[in-house]
Structure 1
Amino acid sequence: MTVLSVPVALDERPLPRRVGLVTLATDHTTEVDFSALPAHGVGVYATRIPFANPVTPETLAAMARDVTAAAALILPDEELDAVVYSCTSASVVIGDQAVRDAIRLGKPSAEPITPISAGFAALRALEAGRITLLTPYTPRTTQPMAECFEAGGFVLQGVSCLNLTDDREMARISHATIVEAARAALAPGSQALFVACTAVRAAAIIDRIEDALGVPVVSANSATLWAAARACGISGPVAPGQLMRLA
């Protein structure tokens, strides 16, 4: 074996900006939805957090103890621009501020992002105060989310759910079903529709849902993707939808 004496030059980073994802062990969707970012000079680096179905307030709350360690595990001792905790319902059950505080403990310099904090910011940016909430969950898991949106200052014109308990099945909901469920859920007077759950594959077809409904649509992943892109200084669209086209 020969040890070469060639001088090794090191670049600063393979990509100039970096986003970390804390995804559920069972997540099929988030990394796919975030795959658009590297084309914009943003690296996406994911870790998994333990989770066991069914999706209930109890199983969601159990993830609280692992958030900090999961965030710290992403490129240890290196800085990230943002860290996304990719679970809408757990952000509600654990508490949105508590989740973001836990991320900060693991990655102090990164902007902590959740589907709730990003979703609220997205709806406000769209000037949508009256909304319809659509979830794939059971009524028992949906109710705390509805209360969270109302506490955040939004008027819920309607709340609908699909009564599923397994997030792996939520990731298999067909695009046609998502569009039809959105059409059926949208309540009169709504200024936007919010589609909860990072497992649901709505982000890639936001424009298709918006065409069917005639109002802006924000999904859990489109909101966090938008927030992460803005945290990295990207102002242009990185995915479909009216939200992405905001200046």
Structure 2
Amino acid sequence: MTAMRELGPDAVTLDERPIARRIGLILLDTDHTTETDFARLVASGEIGVYAARVAYANPTTPENLMAMRPRLAKAAAAILPGSELDAICFSCSSASAVIGDDTVRDAIRAGKPGVAVITPALAAANALAALGARKIAMLTPYLAETTRPLAAYMQAKGFHLAGVTCLGFDDDREMARISPASLVEAAVAATPDDAEALFISCTALRAVSVVAKIEARIGRPVVTSNQATAWECLSLCGATADPARAGRLFALDRPKAA
């Protein structure tokens, strides 16, 4: 048998972190889309993305969204236990509006103390403010009862709603199946002439890949849930992305809060 030699830890140099920056994602266990979008827009040799999932039961109603709140701390704690994160994103637009940003933040910090917390609703509001838009159109895939809290959230942030369109789905797995080409046409139809920008809500939608196409059709900026959270995560990490990949927003620095 060949002799085995153990050199010991002193024989090598340890980096402070395996990867320079770390972003956590808390996903619904039915989410098909966020990880793919973050792999495209955020993850790199310098930024790692690490996900945990929370139990979620359709239909997508305010009551079912609210039911996730007690599960957030455990999910946050499960992301790289014992290691610091630069931020955690709770990747559900409608739930962040229903539960509330402060409540989401406190729940996540109960599992990961002191971490920066990003929600799609607040990230979208910050993105729209950075783009200089105050009169906006909004498109969601949700039922009307689930769209209303998000519309109220955006109004509370100071936005005037020029139009609100919802597609009437109650299952986020079906929302993820809406074709990008269909999203383009729905977005065009949902944007009235007097809207300064369009917000497409829902992290389940495969909208990131068609942001530039929609902007070209409507001639105005487009903000989507995953695009906005990716932009905030990159900004917190001091990184940028190619505007051609995700619309006009990615040409901007991170703004003051909406």
Bin of the TM-score, shorter chain as denominator length = over 0.9
Counterpart of 2:150 in 1: which secondary structure?
helix
TM-score, normalised to structure 1, is: 0.96
Tell me which residue corresponds to 1:31: 35
Tell me which residue corresponds to 1:197: 202
Counterpart of 1:44 in 2: which secondary structure?
strand
Residue by residue over 1:65-106, the C-alpha shift from the partner in whole angstroms, topping out at 9 and shown as x without a partner, is: 011111111001110001000000001111122112212222
Distance across 1 between alignment mates of 2:159 and 2:37: 26
Structure 1, unmatched stretches of 5+, are none
Distance across 2 between alignment mates of 1:195 and 1:140: 17
Letter in 2 for 1:80: L
> Is the CA contact (8 Å cut-off) linking 1:79 and 1:109 kept in structure 2?
no
> Is the CA contact (8 Å cut-off) linking 2:172 and 2:204 kept in structure 1?
yes
> Is the CA contact (8 Å cut-off) linking 1:122 and 1:243 kept in structure 2?
yes
Tell me which residue corresponds to 1:55: 60
Tell me which residue corresponds to 2:16: 12
Q: Measure how far apart 1:236 and its partner are.
A: 4.2
Identity of matched residues, %: 51
> Is the CA contact (8 Å cut-off) linking 1:135 and 1:162 kept in structure 2?
yes
Counterpart of 2:89 in 1: which secondary structure?
strand
Structure 2, unmatched stretches of 5+, are 254-258
Q: Measure how far apart 1:161 and its partner are.
A: 0.5
Tell me which residue corresponds to 2:112: 107
Distance across 1 between alignment mates of 2:208 and 2:109: 26
Tell me which residue corresponds to 2:85: 80
Residue by residue over 1:181-238, the C-alpha shift from the partner in whole angstroms, topping out at 9 and shown as x without a partner, is: 0011002211110001100011122111111111100000000000011011114437
Residue by residue over 1:22-46, the C-alpha shift from the partner in whole angstroms, topping out at 9 and shown as x without a partner, is: 0000000000000032326100000
> Is the CA contact (8 Å cut-off) linking 2:139 and 2:165 kept in structure 1?
yes
1:149 to 141, 147, 154: 154
Q: Measure how far apart 1:8 and its partner are.
A: 4.2
Q: Measure how far apart 1:114 and its partner are.
A: 0.2
> Is the CA contact (8 Å cut-off) linking 1:150 and 1:156 kept in structure 2?
yes
Q: How many residues align?
A: 247
TM-score, normalised to structure 2, is: 0.92
Distance across 2 between alignment mates of 1:242 and 1:113: 20
Counterpart of 1:66 in 2: which secondary structure?
helix
Residue by residue over 1:99-153, the C-alpha shift from the partner in whole angstroms, topping out at 9 and shown as x without a partner, is: 1221222222321000011111101000110000100001111111111111111
RMSD across aligned positions (CA): 1.5
Distance across 1 between alignment mates of 2:110 and 2:20: 23
Whether 1:246 aligns to 2:252 is: yes
Please identify the structure whose Cα radius of gyration is greater.
Answer: 2
Distance across 1 between alignment mates of 2:33 and 2:4: 43
> Is the CA contact (8 Å cut-off) linking 1:130 and 1:154 kept in structure 2?
yes
